[in-house]
Amino acid sequence: MKKVNNFSRITAMTLILALLGFSAFGQTTAAKAKEKTNDKALKAYVGAYEFDKNTDMGFDVTVWLEENGNLYAQPSNESQPPAQLIKVSEDKFELANTGGLMMSFERDKKKEVISLRISEADQFFTCIKKKDK
């Protein structure tokens, strides 16, 4: 039976602990970077949207990002309470507690958000994003 000296065991354990520590650090750093990316991605939706009047019913909408990282939308005239936007897929959200209303965002060729569409079943209306002054 071959003897393993204590130095080798200590060295091996130190290396394992160091690798585990760096791995955890890397995962934490990656998670924080992802949060920042998500925050930045969500900020693209923020703004005031004006009803395009191409349908019989609709209203202006305001979209904002809370400090906790949640995205919200509300009619600009505040006729309804704010609704949290729950991400379903890229540029598509469900409006929480609204019975299934969906909000999808359209982008231009430069990948900038230019409009939103609120829909339920086969009914929808569109709002155009106002340009920042």
The Cα 54–Cα 122 span in angstroms is 15
Contact 106, 91 (CB under 8 A): yes
Q: State how beta strands 83-89 and 71-75 pair.
A: antiparallel
Q: Which domain holds residue 5?
A: 1-43
Q: Are residues 122 and 59 in the same domain?
A: yes
The Cα 112–Cα 93 span in angstroms is 17
| pLDDT of res. 131 | 87
112 backbone dihedrals φ, ψ, rounded to 5°? -90, 140
How many distinct structural domains can be found in the chain? Answer: 2
Q: Are residues 54 and 106 in the same domain?
A: yes
The CATH number of whichever domain residue 91 belongs to comes to: 2.40.128.50
Q: What is the pLDDT along the chain (133 residues), one digit of tens a residue?
A: 555 554 444 444 433 433 333 334 334 433 433 444 477 889 999 999 999 999 989 999 999 999 999 999 999 999 999 999 999 999 999 999 999 999 999 999 999 999 999 999 889 999 999 987 6
Q: Are residues 68 and 97 in the same domain?
A: yes
